[in-house]
Structure 1
Amino acid sequence: MADAVTALVVDDEEMTRAIVAGYLSRIGYRTLEAETKAQAWEILSSSGSAIHVVLLDRRLADGDGLELYERMKQEPHLADIPVIVQTISDSSSEIAAAIRAGVFYYLIKPYDGALLRSVVRAAEETTGRLRSLQGDLRSRSDAIGLLRDGRFRFRTLQEAQNLAITLSSVAATAHSLTFGLSEILVNAVEHGNLGIGFEAKGRLKASGMLAREIEARLASAEHRDKYATVHVERSDSRVIFTVTDMGAGFDFNRYLSVDASQSNATHGRGIALARMVGFDQLTYVGNGNRVVGIVNLDRASDGLSD
């Protein structure tokens, strides 16, 4: 990226804004600052397209920070900006409220610079991938919309992404479905067939070795013959996606929602995101190596604000 990444820091404490700006400057970010929701909205309205991430304090002098987030979601040019809520409270009810509103990154003060930087990068990575998927979706043929019943086999991350982009065209809610379908197809490869667990993925991401490890496992004797399948069944009223991998399964209940214990992690939200914005129903079967996602074709809206 030619221009510096810009973060908007919304906090009514000047010292906190300065500390956050210092943390982010170490990874080349520039920061804009706002003390209130009103000031933040003025900045977003004038330069929203140039802002890459918002760090939003939950309790501001002029009200609840989540109200600013809800307002952002109503504006197409602001809706996709990742928002990280920060607060001094570890109340489960407050965290649940933020999660229900769609905030998947929640930092409890005080936190250190390394954690802040990793969460900011993770939020940007997720949003950037969504935008890329949506851009690719627009370039694909609408012919897949004629599909009534089909079964597809895949084994690599690229094949999983390609299928997600193509198959999501069967529904009017294609943009949000692309993201949700991508998550469960990628999980089938990464966590299912290749056996890369939550903790291992965290270590590999931190060391920058995740992509290399995935390629190594795909080529290994243990994993090279493994594949996953997605079965698509479309009726006049709904589409059913059944994704099955050859892995040993996992404790899927841990990932069906996002709670306080996961809020500071840099990954692990994909299943909860898929469940909330990609599908009307998402159900894991047996030991977790099969998942069924249902999309109602009469869903009125499209996008991540569903």
Structure 2
Amino acid sequence: MKPYQVLLIEDEEIIAGFIEHTLAKEDIQVVLMPNAESAWTYLQDNPCQTDVILLDRQLPGMDGIEFLQRLKQDTALQRIPVIIETAASDQESIQQGIDAGAYYYLVKPLQRELLIPIINEAASQYREFCTLQETLNETSQALQLMSHAEFTLRTLPEARLLTNALSQIYPEPKKVATGLLELLVNAVEHGNLNISYEEKTLLLMSRQWHEEVEKRLRDPKYKERRVHVSYRKESNRIVLTITDDGNGFNWEPYLEIQPDRVFHLHGRGIAMARRISFDTIDYQGNGNRVVAMVQLG
């Protein structure tokens, strides 16, 4: 696999040197820019090279928040995950970053044990998003004639396969694909495989998440569980219902990106699906069923 590339926007030489040295030991490539203006020029010239942006909030000239706002307005660049490094950990500053589109936060002084897994997770998610986009093409337009369908899946590769097909039925496939995949992955890992929020945090930190998922898929306790997907196209909307065989979860805290979870490695998928991909997301019962709707016309 091609090494991840991080665009580091940092004007302090000592901090930049620490980050470059730390990431180099993990075979992560770093492109260093001392200010937001030069970083913006680099992105315009190399729009497909960067997997993650590590952005200092306080920069000379254009500051980090202004840069982030500009990035999110560019359709070619807006999906690149941005990790803000900041000395400001107050709620107001964090909320400002969230509103501007930050996906991750790191508080200075940076800690290696947090820096590496956060960058790996962000880059992995972005690579997965890019792979999904490459598979979306016009050859599947016949699927748009489908008015209703039922699907059953068990594994994460099956979730990705169904995402590739179903997202093409929607008016904006790329917009829906990311959120749909998040909901299906959530149904597999948290629903059917009963991986808790805390367990996933530890698994990501130790880089054992994929191994644990495969282990539980083979476990007799979980191997018969399935995710059931119902698709229904009406005159003015598309309704997707996803039901897993798990025990449900407390879904309400995850509908929004909460400031107290900005420093976590995960936990944003449902909120991002609700904010970007679907017009409404409605969890029902004990949380093992979600109805996602997109308005037509």
TM-score by length of 2: 0.92
Aligned residue runs from structure 1 range 65-104, under 5 A? 65-104=64-103
Name the residue aligned to 2:43.
44
* Identical pairs, percent: 36
Indicate the RMSD between aligned Cα atoms, in angstroms: 2.0
Alpha-carbon deviation of 1:120?
0.9
Distance 1:47 1:292, change over 3 A: same
Of 67-76 and 109-118, more deviation after overlay is shown by 67-76
Aligned to 1:219: 218
Per-residue deviation, residues 243-301 of structure 1 (Å, max 9, x unmatched): 11111111112222222322222222211111111111112112111111111223xxx
Give how far 1:77 is off: 4.2
Deviates more, 1:211-220 or 1:236-245: 211-220
Q: Deviations over 1:84-107 (max 9, x none)?
A: 111111122222222223221111
Q: How does 1:94-243 map to 2 (within 5 A)?
A: 94-138=93-137, 141-243=140-242
Deviates further, 114-123 or 131-140:
131-140
**AA in 2 matched with 1:287:** N
Deviations 1:56-99 (A, max 9, x none): 11222213312212323344543333221111111222222222
Q: Which amino acid in 2 is paired with 1:114? A: E
Contact 1:140 1:166 in 2 (8 A): no
Q: Distance in 1 between matches of 2:211 and 2:24?
A: 29
Structure 1 SS opposite 2:242? strand
3-state secondary structure, aligned to 1:49: coil
Q: Is the 8 A contact 2:150 2:231 kept in 1?
A: yes
Deviations 1:220-241 (A, max 9, x none): 3222222121111211221111
Aligned residues: 297
Alpha carbons of structure 1 residues 228 and 70: separation in structure 2 relative to 1, 3 Å: same
Unpaired segments of 5 or more residues in structure 1? 299-306
Q: Distance in 2 between matches of 1:48 and 1:60?
A: 22
Is residue 115–residue 264 contact of structure 1 (8 Å, CA) maintained in 2?
no
Q: CA deviation at 1:31?
A: 2.5
Deviation at 1:180, TM superposition (A): 0.7
- Partner of residue 281, structure 1: 280
Residues 15-61 of structure 1: CA deviation (Å, up to 9, x unaligned): 22222222212212332322322222233233343333211112222
Amino acid at match of 2:146: L
Mapped to 2, the partners of 1:237 and 1:94 lie a distance apart of 40
